[in-house]
Structure 1
């Protein structure tokens, strides 16, 4: 069976069942590997939930309808709810959704998949202030130093190792100037 959803943050828009489905879906979009955390560990579900309660609130109906479309799509492939399926079955559903989204851009289930995939990337690589990228796992993966006031000419050189620059978040920058968040 796929790993179970652990609710370790307050839900702001999604209910627990919806959050479990989104968590399973983002876990297939950016899966964990040994030594490499994925979307679940990065808190992408929290990012999506916060975004839907805030700056992406106009997408609330899309997510509600999209979760229904995902359930119907899953039922056409296998028995069971998406988040209760084994990893291999979830992978197959996601593979078929990805193919559908390319083959028929007007299909709603495929459109929803593309939206969730985009939000997964945002939550994995965005600043932790927005709810995702826990422990800076996304930035660590690609060697991005995060929020910086600027870069020196040496740091801008093509062969410079950006992993030597201390990673900073928006919160870190605010604390350096003594400002409130």
Structure 2
């Protein structure tokens, strides 16, 4: 079970401040938790993905994240009596569960919308190509048996029932390095 956040990024923050990044890291850790032998969103670098995306192609969502994180903290104080990072893992999980319920019961509420956005970005960061900052060590792809970026598949690999885990996992970076080595 998770404990109070001790988030220390091993990457440069581009949009989020350290407290916001720690809060996002704790949230994504509850959305896709790690289990023994199975890394979760934290280990996959989802917070780095979200931070990079907010400084780049998702920059239009910067105000949504700023306001959403502020409302999220107020929600944690209101429902659990402390800011999210000051809660223990069980209390954080209870806040997330209550927020998830609110998200379904009042889909038009801003905080519920914000939570759905963070949840969607968590999935993107967990399963996207590592070039975008998440899916560190291709943990998301390994979890579902996805071979990643491929130039193509052999006829045998296209048959139903093929074990896709036997196909070497390649990232976009791997493909580009192969292009460079072809010269």
Displacement of 1:103: 0.6
Q: Tell me which residue corresponds to 1:171.
A: 173
TM-score (norm 1): 0.96
Which residues of structure 2 form unaligned runs of 5+?
none
Question: Is the 1:25–1:83 contact (alpha carbons within 8 Å) kept by the matching residues of 2?
Answer: no
What is the Cα deviation at residue 3 of structure 1?
A: 4.3
Whole-Å separation in 2 of the counterparts to 1:157 and 1:2: 47
Aligned to 2:137: 135
CA distance in 1: counterparts of 2:99 and 2:155, whole angstroms:
45
* Counterpart in the other structure of 1:99: 101
Among 23, 28, 42, the residue aligned to 1:40: 42
How many angstroms does 1:79 deviate by? 2.0
Aligned partners of 2:27 and 2:85: how far apart in 1?
8
Instruction: Determine the C-alpha separation between the residues in 1 that align with 2:109 and 2:84.
Output: 19
State how 1:1-181 maps to structure 2 within 5 Å.
1-178=3-180
Distance 1:164 1:175 in 2: 21
Residue 160 of structure 1 deviates from its aligned partner by 0.3
CA distance in 2, matches of 1:158, 1:61: 45
Aligned residue pair count = 179
* Contact kept? 1:97, 1:110, Cα under 8 Å: yes
Q: Is the contact made by 1:127 and 1:133 (CA closer than 8 Å) also made in structure 2?
A: yes
Cα offset for 1:157?
1.2
- TM-score, length of structure 2 as denominator length: 0.95
| CA distance in 1: counterparts of 2:173 and 2:53, whole angstroms | 18
* CA root-mean-square deviation: 1.0
Question: In structure 1, what is the Cα distance between the partners aligned to 2:126 and 2:87?
Answer: 23
Runs of 4+ in 1 over 3 A off after TM superposition: none
1:91-129: CA deviation from partner (whole Å, max 9, x where unpaired): 111111111111101111111000000000000000000
Mark the runs of 5 or more structure 1 residues left unpaired by the alignment. Answer: none
Shift of 1:4: 1.7
